[in-house]
Every structure is written in structure tokens, then in C-alpha cells.
Amino acid sequence: MTDTSREQLYEDLSMASRRYLAAYVLFNQALADHLGLHPTDVQALSLLTAAPGPVTVKQIADMTGLTTGSATRLVDRLERAGYVARTPDQQDRRRVLVTVVPERVARVTAVWDDLGRAWQEILDDQSEEELRTITRHMHRAHDLSHAQMRRLRSRPKPEA
């Protein structure tokens, strides 16, 4: 592959990536509007349902990149809406764990499952090796995004 064709591929990928990310953010907003939630709350629910078990507010802050204060307010909103419950940690009674409420989260999961079938359909014609490549890319993009969030949050904000 020549340098110019690789540069063109990078440019095409950059544009496709920008469009994909913008579409995902707009989709997330539409989903949040549909459910009557804040977009950050929808993403937090996604992360909470992917977690192996209950988590602390500090862990939610780490997962989302929010401050612990913002994560506490997020949990407050989700608790008021009935999506999560705070429970004492049985191993350390000083800690409080955040647990999803399965019956309430099923409402969100039903929407995700319906949309997930459409996602699977667009992947059905991919080979197993292509699916592994996509999955590897998604894992690497996740890690890079979190590193970039930390980097961005550590920098001073630009002057107006």
C-alpha cells in the first residue's frame, strides 16, 4: 500500500469515525429522551448493567470520568427514577453499593435488545476474523478514550 493510499484510508476512517460518533451521541440523546432520562444516566445504566455486580459511587465516577460529586448526583437521579438502589456493603458496613433494580432496568434493556438485533444484522456478513478485528478495535478505542479523557481533564480549560 502506498503512503498516499494509506493517508486516504486514514482520512476516510477519520470521517467515518466522526460521523459514527456523532450519530451515536445523537442516538443516545434520542434514547434518553424516549426514556425520560439524562444522556449521561443512560450511559451509566449501560455501564452498571455490564458490571459484574454492585459498585460504589467512586467506581461509577471512575467508569464515567465524572467527579464523585457528579456521580453522586447521577446515582441520586437514577435512584429517584427507580433504576438503582443503594445498599450497605456486607463486607464493609461503612460503604454503600449501588445496585441496579432489574425490573426497572428491564425497560431500558428491552429497548437496547430491540436495537441490538439490528446491530447484529449489520454484522452478520462479517467473518469471525473481521468480528475479532472489530472487537479488538473497540477495546483499544475504549482504552484510548479513557486515557484521552483523563488527559483532557488534567489540562487547563482554554480561555474564552
- As a dihedral over the C-alpha atoms of residue 22, residue 55, residue 149, residue 138, rounded to 10 degrees, the angle is -50
Q: Report CA-CA distances (Å) from 153 to 67, 69, 76, 109, 146.
A: 11, 15, 24, 31, 11
Q: Mind listing the pLDDT tens digit for each residue in 32-43?
A: 998 899 999 999
* DSSP-derived secondary structure letter, 159: P
Instruction: Please write the tens of the pLDDT for every residue from 12-27.
Output: 999 999 999 999 899 8
CA angle 103/69/54 to nearest 5° reads 35
Q: How confident is the model at residue 140 (pLDDT cuts 50, 70, 90)?
A: very high
pLDDT at 1 over 80: no
| Maximum C-alpha span of the chain | 62
pLDDT given for residue 7 in this prediction: 92
